[in-house]
Structure 1
């Protein structure tokens, strides 16, 4: 159900948009930003008094795993989209390693149908590539689907693409953006065998970034970039986790002209391998969280333009699954609800500006994927907006975690800022802790 509410008038927020910070009113009619100006009056609009609050474009998360279908004991579209909007994320792009893997056009459509019924946030889903479905991949509609996902490293089910002929075919013929998970499988297997020879089954979490090493990431990322340059492919490399990889990307090309772009994730900007001692498997991700030097290098690349987008790789598992010994515990964790607050803490720490935060989480994502009329606070664009109080602390605890898994790597942390309101396609879906579930998000469209 997509229901447009009455007009909404946001009064006197401090708007952060397109490199500017200024105070103005925003009028929303039929889900679209109709006017941005001081002193707007409207006889029937619902007013939100936003004095003292900052208004940002809603985050567009280009990499989430909402686990539906087939893995809904961990997560599902309904729970995770609620967590998303509570955290100021208004649109998501979801990955194909569900069960079954999203490797046919029918399975892809099935996921869109689920989201139309259940998602509070706007949505898109990647088409999955495997070694044996190239013809099916090439049927994907660039206007209606965010991209093609290629796992150039370990994945779920039949989704490791390591066949040279298939990779050449994908990179040469894809009608749209290819997003890659880059870790070299042969290197990881060699590392794992070496550590097992030394330690038997007594592997521990501190070995994770050594097994899934910086070398494995660089080998795979550089291979993807080489293929993309050879074929002129529109390539987007996901979750960069090493400083070395950042040198593969260009900072001197304007974003709309880039053919090769990159993403950093919140956890690689927040944690380092020093945190394994306290957090254990709760910060076990693929690619692994690595050194403090890698973290600093990734942030520098975000700031100087080599990395274009910040996202989450939100990938929940149950508490019981994550509580297993290192070798049995799956990689991934919930992040979508607290991504914006974590980045706002980085703003308070002087690591990035509000303008840079908005650019990397909304403007650039919309530009990279060529999303139709989203990602900016502009007249004529859909009203995907989030209001934040920069100086209202918020502590993460089990009572306020909305992801189905019920835990967070930020549990116990007090963020300095709070999300107060979230609007999705002009509908007020989150209002000071209360979810308004009388409307659903919309399918993202792309100007391709």
Structure 2
């Protein structure tokens, strides 16, 4: 493997930014120091004026393989992730078939090993009738990121609404339990009311009223009650409402929290005001809601009630999204542009670059106890990204790497550029070009 020295670059790590040299050797960070001198074969990269960040770890993506490969594949979406500075991902189980058995779960790991340019892990899926399979994952707690429970509408048979199932999983799982929290009964009741009022004339603007604040809050409250009862390790995904924030605290260090929460980039960026422009393109579950909810999410992100920034990357074909509201599927492709979006907010003074690194790299590593990733530390894997904060990145059809071929950011210019992405020491992406000769690695966990 080629070794590298990155010279004179602003290293952003653990709350500080310092200009250093970084020596990458045999997949790992060998040394971080001023003026590194080494002998032997290495390639030198001039980092003057640029920043080196730990690679983003996205704890919630849907890469659609197996079974839904007209939308995306692990190969295409991992490639897009790397182009956007995401070096590791954790992928959700609602594929076709869903990852509801140990055999089906390991099939996904085999696809990742063969085709993923980024490091990978896959969640074990929960259903009302697969508790025995879920609990077998306890034997894989060092090699599987967690158990995913959909406590709201989802693909196939993955809605878990049986309280006995929830009781058993929360009381017996030794892995982190990640939940999608929306109350199905509330959603169904709202849908019936809106159908009676508007018939077939529902639009994306109705989405946050059907999948409303109450549906999110009630479901999150139930999940937290189960977790507290059994001292389970709970991580609630994609918080979208200001009301839910009262359920989370910031009094403990992240490593000591038993209940954590995530916010996604689209809930930090868009509001219900944007449905007029984007329509079904930003239809997602949980829904993008009113501006006061976005304001609350930002406040909670900055004061550490929200622990992680992720994407919930969920691609669908352009044709699917052009259907009427009731037929158009929920989900937005985001993994290629999440870091660029947050760097835009750095440029706007909304958040510091150190805080972005904390929430997108350090916190996922701590939250999931990921082994030797998420930080720029000597001895850790060299998952890192070179960013030009003086550059620009215009999103155009030809540079969108998602298989679906579209993005809600098409036509937008981000005020930063990702120039290099290293995955476990391999320079996988450089200025628009990929080197796919080395694949990513299966992530391991300190449990």
Normalising by the smaller structure, the TM-score range is: over 0.9
How big is the shift at 1:12? 1.0
The reply on whether 1:338 has 2:337 as its aligned counterpart is yes
Q: Report the Cα distance in structure 2 between the residues aligned to 1:438 and 1:47, rounded to whole angstroms.
A: 20
Q: 2:446 corresponds to which residue?
A: 447
How big is the shift at 1:126? 0.0
TM-score (norm 1): 0.99
What secondary structure sits across from 2:419 in the alignment?
A: strand
Q: 1:37 corresponds to which residue?
A: 33
Which 4+ residue blocks in structure 1 deviate beyond 6 angstroms?
Answer: none
The reply on whether 1:16 has 2:15 as its aligned counterpart is no
Q: Report the Cα distance in structure 2 between the residues aligned to 1:127 and 1:362, rounded to whole angstroms.
A: 22
Q: 1:263 corresponds to which residue?
A: 262
What secondary structure sits across from 2:421 in the alignment?
A: strand
How big is the shift at 1:333? 1.3
Q: 1:121 corresponds to which residue?
A: 118
Q: 2:21 corresponds to which residue?
A: 25
> Which consecutive residues of structure 1, in runs of 5 or more, have no partner in the other structure?
none
Q: 2:391 corresponds to which residue?
A: 392
The reply on whether 1:438 has 2:437 as its aligned counterpart is yes
Q: 2:130 corresponds to which residue?
A: 133
CA contact (8 A) 1:9 1:42 kept: no
What secondary structure sits across from 2:136 in the alignment?
A: coil
How big is the shift at 1:350? 1.1
CA RMSD of aligned residues (A): 0.6
Q: 1:224 corresponds to which residue?
A: 223
Q: 2:211 corresponds to which residue?
A: 212
How big is the shift at 1:48? 1.1
Matches within 5 A, 1:314-353: 314-353=313-352
Q: Report the Cα distance in structure 1 between the residues aligned to 2:31 and 2:303, rounded to whole angstroms.
A: 33
TM-score (norm 2): 0.99
Q: 1:371 corresponds to which residue?
A: 370
Q: 1:154 corresponds to which residue?
A: 153
What secondary structure sits across from 1:114 in the alignment?
A: helix
Q: Report the Cα distance in structure 2 between the residues aligned to 1:192 and 1:138, rounded to whole angstroms.
A: 35
How big is the shift at 1:42? 2.6
What secondary structure sits across from 1:294 in the alignment?
A: helix
What secondary structure sits across from 2:6 in the alignment?
A: strand
What secondary structure sits across from 1:328 in the alignment?
A: coil
What secondary structure sits across from 1:61 in the alignment?
A: strand
> Which consecutive residues of structure 2, in runs of 5 or more, have no partner in the other structure?
none
How big is the shift at 1:6? 1.8
How big is the shift at 1:41? 2.3
How big is the shift at 1:290? 0.3
